[in-house]
Structure 1
């Protein structure tokens, strides 16, 4: 991903991890419901950030980032639920949680910056 922002790079990388986690949950744990929700929300973050590239206005850009933030927060919820239901281990959760937390922080910061313009 040449000439991409850190947020674009991190959200894309995170989506790839979510896809791998989804495959693991389907194949090894036979977990189909939460894994589908996780896949949807975890990959939507980067898609919304990408979609914002062609926003029609600053308000549209903020809206796309705000929805991405909601998806990131939902993703953290699904990951926590998987951990607390023992579908993933604490080690697995602790491996991915810093990435989603960083995405949330970056999105919050970006939205604040965009709103101040």
Structure 2
């Protein structure tokens, strides 16, 4: 069965890895590591939630993934405003991230209603 959230978060993580490499070449090591950590952890947490020990564990992991996605937005905004990344890259990644956030919010709400 296809899991759209899992697939999108994996694709997003790949894009974040590519961005991190570009940032690294600009000698922005700290910012590159920060966005790499938060941006890739979204998908990792979604994978963890998939095999959560309980509904509560699932909701907790998905909520942490949501927090990481929100933190990633912060780093994207900072990188754009500091003129470290181009506007088109920012817009693409922000759009993907907002889509993940909406899907996470929906998944969390659904899980809470069914618990």
Pick the TM interval, shorter chain.
over 0.9
Is 1:116–2:113 an aligned residue pair? yes
Corresponding residue for 1:94? 91
In structure 1, what is the Cα distance between the partners aligned to 2:50 and 2:109?
17
Deviations 1:43-92 (A, max 9, x none): 00000000112111000000000000000000000000000000012122
1:15-54 alignment, distance < 5 Å? 15-27=13-25, 29-54=26-51
Query: Structure 2: how far apart are the matches of 1:95 and 1:51?
Result: 26
TM-score in terms of structure 2 length: 0.96
2:104 matched residue in structure 1? 107
- How far residue 95 of structure 1 moved from its aligned partner, in angstroms, is 1.8
CA–CA separation in structure 2 for the residues paired with 1:36 and 1:4: 30
Q: Which 4+ runs in 1 deviate beyond 2 A?
A: none
Moved more, 89-98 or 104-113: 89-98
TM-score of the superposed pair, with normalisation by structure 1: 0.95
